[in-house]
Structure 1
Amino acid sequence: MDVGLFTANNIWMMICTALVFFMHLGFSLLEIGLTRQKNTINILFKNIFIICSGLILYYFIGFNLMYPGSFNGFLGFAGFGLDAPILANGSLDLSYNEGYTYWTDFLFQGMFAATAATIVSGAVAERIKLGQFMLFTVIYIAFIYPIVGSWQWGGGFLSTLGGEGAGFYDFAGSTLVHSVGGWAALMAIYVLGPRIGKFKEDGSPNAIPGHNIPLATAGVLILWLGWFGFNGGSVLSADPATTSIVLVTTCLAGAAGGIGSFILYYFRYKNFDLTMMLNGILGGLVGITAGADLMSPSEAILIGLIAGFVIIFGVALIDRLRLDDPVGAVAVHLICGIWGTLAVGIFGAKAGMTQFLYQLSGVAIIGLFCSLMAFIILTTIKKTSGIRVSTEEEEEGLDIHEHGMYAYADFRMNQHE
């Protein structure tokens, strides 16, 4: 083993792990910025809980469930726990992987697991009971996400559709992370129903503005930065050629998504909407994630541009269906995740009808499983303990009712003086 190369690869993977962790700050700022002041503490609490619980659950259950190796465990899945490859003398066995250590692998993948649940948090903001959300998160992170991940990244059946070297392809998780969270978000907003005042009597949507757009903008820029770790780390080494092209395609797709969304929104509504441009950037980043290592820069721009268009139509579709998604999570993570996954069969090194059908099959199988499991979990919680806060709690805000505090205490006190 080239120790110098191994060290360089491992350091790069640890840097990417830190960048993906930093994305949780971006998600937090985006969600609180696009929602109302009275629910800020509640949203922040959910995001912090997701990180803490997600890592612990991935340690005890998710990692081995997702990457079973030679032991296929109980009910066709891996056993529980984390059995680190430590030699008899107590030193770490570096034969685990040529690119990074066992521990680095665990931590990097654990960050992805937490991200999938964070997607749901924004969609259900301002009306879900905190305890019930936490229960759903625990079940979804512990079991649903790693089971789906094992089908592809763990060497499962999706990775070998059509035989060895063929099959479904998802480089960094347009479907395996973003759509997994997106399907759950869609089921959650369906089960929960819209916020009070979101729709008028005739069914048309009523805008409920977020309380801090500068924070939302900062959140998107942090997420964009974090995506360098999200996609760059998915190379699973510091290989100069692959890492460089992945970072270029990722960045260009995000930029094109922002341009595409603001242009289409302006032509449709004659308005320069910053929030749509922000979601367009995220849509472009989600869209390129499935094939960031396969695309040329020009193809990445085209994928991102189309993702920006998809955001506008996706948000309009959600409103037309009378579903309430305060941060646009379903349009960004689910619809653009589907687009990005299918784009692997349209553009890039794997383009072709056969690959497109593999991609379509993967989207359909994962979509059916995730939506069904999320719906069962959510409806069970709803029927047994209720899932939505009372009208009084929703109108007065979850911060004071669930947490007994305000996010901006001095500001609130000055308001009442």
Structure 2
Amino acid sequence: MSQQKSTLVNSRKKDWISRLNRVFSPYWLACIPLVAVIVIVWNTAALAQDGEALTAEEVQGALNSIWVLIASILVIFMNAGFAMLETGFCRQKNAVNILAKNLIVFAIATLGYWAIGFPLMFGQANPFFGLGGWFLSSNDPATYGLSPFPEGLPIAVFFLFQVAFAGTAATIVSGAVAERIRFSDFLIFSLLLTAIAYPITGHWVWSAQGWLFNLGFIDFAGCAVVHSVGGWAALMGAAILGPREGKYRDGRINAIPGHNMSIATLGCLILWIGWFGFNPGSQLAVDEVVPYIAVTTNLAAAAGGLTSTFTSWLKDGKPDLSMVINGILAGLVGITASCNAVSYPSAVIIGAIAGIIVVFSVGFFDRIKIDDPVGATSVHLVCGTWGVLAVGLFHAEKGLLFGGGMGQMINQLIGIVAIAAFTLVFSTIVWMILKSVFGLRVTLEEEIHGLDIAEHGMEAYSGFVKESDVLSTGFTASISSIEDVSSRID
């Protein structure tokens, strides 16, 4: 009898657990931490530590800090998107190498930017670079150009948001030099880019002392500061490295398809979501502009995805998924500089043009034999430059198409040239030094067998047949055997 009762009790427990699982899905459960944060902030807004009500400024400051913290996490999560995208676009024999680069690059960016980059970018010294407060050693917000809390953000929150952007610039390079660069050389370049080059140009644009900032150059969330800087560095890396073996042979462009378009698509969707931290987070406050930025960002992404799809369809006869992916990213990049200051129709136009540009840009780089496995230079450099120019055209108050004259467009052109010149010179010098000292590129044998084994001694898909194994045992012979068996069955 007691055993029957125990069985009945266990059955009821399982039934309740099953009901709870149906009602509270993992998506609902994932909202619990966010709800907890909101409740804590709301409660803090009612009572201070000494029991007195907080001022409206303190409440606003707390909300600003929490929002920028959440936006920082979204941007950091974009590293997962880049990892999935690049891995899917490349061959399986290099999957571990690409995943390792995308993971370790944020660690390198964090430490380099913490020690040197953040003070160089926001320190108060002169119009060209900042100084002071190394290793986040200063507790004075003025050291980094911030106002005291609650008028300004806490130093820690502001740093976390900015270091997420620094990591993004280095990750752009990873895709363009994939499948043939030495792991150690990439790490060295990433450190120098995030600790020195990126912060210096960032100081020009985003520091109140920066010369481009005071000129009137506008780059709200980083078309030039993040995307074109990463794009120029990627372009020079790909050019100096040279193309992958077999990419350009006998006057032909040979396609080297990626091994997993499923995870590439997942990467695109993660990046799309992460961009809602990238662009709206750049407002650095909670106000009515934040949702507006989110909508312009989404509209541009959608328009870019559609125009790239139909452009590739008309150009090549079929809708290319890789172009759909890169078109969405092109739209996101293109709107980044102006997402807070253009109308909804303008956002759609900017994204749509970016989606068209990226299709032809990929073909252009192939024609001049710049091998970019994931299209990073087309998405981030070309469409990033377009996004900066779009400010001069579509800005609601200063744009040429809205009666603002040529003044803003001239400022945008000066910024493009200045940032390009500095990044090109810096990147070329660093890449050439790495090539002469360490070799920069893996050997031909290592490239053929894959960087997973050569550089890391492991495989991403252990137990599965690799492309290089199939080629080495004779792909043609395998097909012939299959056809022979098929004919006998028939």
Q: TM-score range by the shorter chain?
A: over 0.9
Match of 1:198 among 247, 262, 270: 247
Match of 2:414 among 349, 354, 361: 361
Residue 357 of structure 2 is matched in structure 1 by: 310
> Is 1:28–1:219's contact at 8 Å kept on the other side of the alignment?
yes
Match of 2:212 among 150, 158, 167: 158
Question: Deviations 1:332-357 (Å, cap 9, x if unpaired)?
Answer: 00000000000000002220311011
Helix, strand or coil for the counterpart of 1:284? helix
The one-letter amino acid paired with 1:39 is N
Equivalent-residue separation in structure 1 for 2:233 and 2:463 (angstroms): 37
Residue 230 of structure 2 is matched in structure 1 by: 181
Q: Does 1:11 align with 2:58?
A: no
Paired residues for 1:299-378 under 5 Å: 299-349=346-396, 350-352=398-400, 353-378=406-431
Q: CA deviation at 1:200?
A: 2.3
Match of 1:294 among 336, 341, 352: 341
> Is 2:108–2:187's contact at 8 Å kept on the other side of the alignment?
no
Residue 83 of structure 1 is matched in structure 2 by: 137
> Is 2:129–2:204's contact at 8 Å kept on the other side of the alignment?
no
The one-letter amino acid paired with 2:387 is G
Q: Does 1:21 align with 2:76?
A: yes
Q: CA deviation at 1:96?
A: 4.3
Question: Deviations 1:289-329 (Å, cap 9, x if unpaired)?
Answer: 00000111110000000000010111011011111000000
TM-score, structure 1 normalization = 0.93
Tell me which structure has the larger Cα radius of gyration: 2
Equivalent-residue separation in structure 1 for 2:62 and 2:335 (angstroms): 29
The one-letter amino acid paired with 2:200 is I
> Is 2:306–2:352's contact at 8 Å kept on the other side of the alignment?
yes
Helix, strand or coil for the counterpart of 1:344? helix
Q: CA deviation at 1:81?
A: 2.5
Q: CA deviation at 1:358?
A: 0.5
Paired residues for 1:198-237 under 5 Å: 198-202=247-251, 204-237=252-285
> Is 1:345–1:351's contact at 8 Å kept on the other side of the alignment?
yes
Equivalent-residue separation in structure 1 for 2:253 and 2:410 (angstroms): 36
Mark the runs of 5 or more structure 1 residues left unpaired by the alignment.
88-92, 162-166
Match of 1:142 among 184, 195, 218: 195
Match of 2:327 among 280, 285, 289: 280
The one-letter amino acid paired with 2:220 is F
The one-letter amino acid paired with 1:173 is G
Equivalent-residue separation in structure 2 for 1:259 and 1:412 (angstroms): 36
Paired residues for 1:260-271 under 5 Å: 260-271=307-318
Q: CA deviation at 1:109?
A: 0.2
256 and 214 in structure 1: CA distance in 2 versus 1, 3 angstrom threshold: same
Equivalent-residue separation in structure 2 for 1:259 and 1:290 (angstroms): 21
> Is 1:258–1:278's contact at 8 Å kept on the other side of the alignment?
yes
Q: CA deviation at 1:100?
A: 2.4
94 and 372 in structure 1: CA distance in 2 versus 1, 3 angstrom threshold: closer
The one-letter amino acid paired with 2:353 is I
Q: Does 1:171 align with 2:235?
A: no
Helix, strand or coil for the counterpart of 1:411? coil
Equivalent-residue separation in structure 2 for 1:382 and 1:25 (angstroms): 29
Q: CA deviation at 1:412?
A: 4.4
> Is 2:297–2:339's contact at 8 Å kept on the other side of the alignment?
yes
Residue 120 of structure 2 is matched in structure 1 by: 65
> Is 1:96–1:102's contact at 8 Å kept on the other side of the alignment?
no
Question: Deviations 1:375-411 (Å, cap 9, x if unpaired)?
Answer: 1100111111211100000000000011100001132
99 and 12 in structure 1: CA distance in 2 versus 1, 3 angstrom threshold: farther
Q: CA RMSD in A?
A: 1.9
TM-score, structure 2 normalization = 0.80
Q: CA deviation at 1:77?
A: 3.3
57 and 395 in structure 1: CA distance in 2 versus 1, 3 angstrom threshold: same
Equivalent-residue separation in structure 1 for 2:65 and 2:189 (angstroms): 34
Residue 105 of structure 1 is matched in structure 2 by: 158
Structure 1, 43-52 or 217-226: larger mean CA deviation: 43-52
Residue 90 of structure 1 is matched in structure 2 by: none
Equivalent-residue separation in structure 2 for 1:288 and 1:385 (angstroms): 39
Q: CA deviation at 1:58?
A: 1.1
Helix, strand or coil for the counterpart of 2:148? helix
Equivalent-residue separation in structure 2 for 1:175 and 1:96 (angstroms): 29
Equivalent-residue separation in structure 2 for 1:287 and 1:97 (angstroms): 33
Paired residues for 1:44-59 under 5 Å: 44-59=99-114
The one-letter amino acid paired with 2:154 is T
Equivalent-residue separation in structure 1 for 2:60 and 2:149 (angstroms): 15
> Is 2:61–2:150's contact at 8 Å kept on the other side of the alignment?
no
337 and 76 in structure 1: CA distance in 2 versus 1, 3 angstrom threshold: closer
Q: CA deviation at 1:267?
A: 1.1
Q: Does 1:130 align with 2:178?
A: no
Paired residues, number? 402
Residue 488 of structure 2 is matched in structure 1 by: none
> Is 1:406–1:412's contact at 8 Å kept on the other side of the alignment?
no
Equivalent-residue separation in structure 1 for 2:232 and 2:268 (angstroms): 21
Residue 85 of structure 2 is matched in structure 1 by: 30
Equivalent-residue separation in structure 2 for 1:101 and 1:381 (angstroms): 38
> Is 1:260–1:308's contact at 8 Å kept on the other side of the alignment?
yes
Equivalent-residue separation in structure 1 for 2:333 and 2:126 (angstroms): 31
The one-letter amino acid paired with 2:334 is G
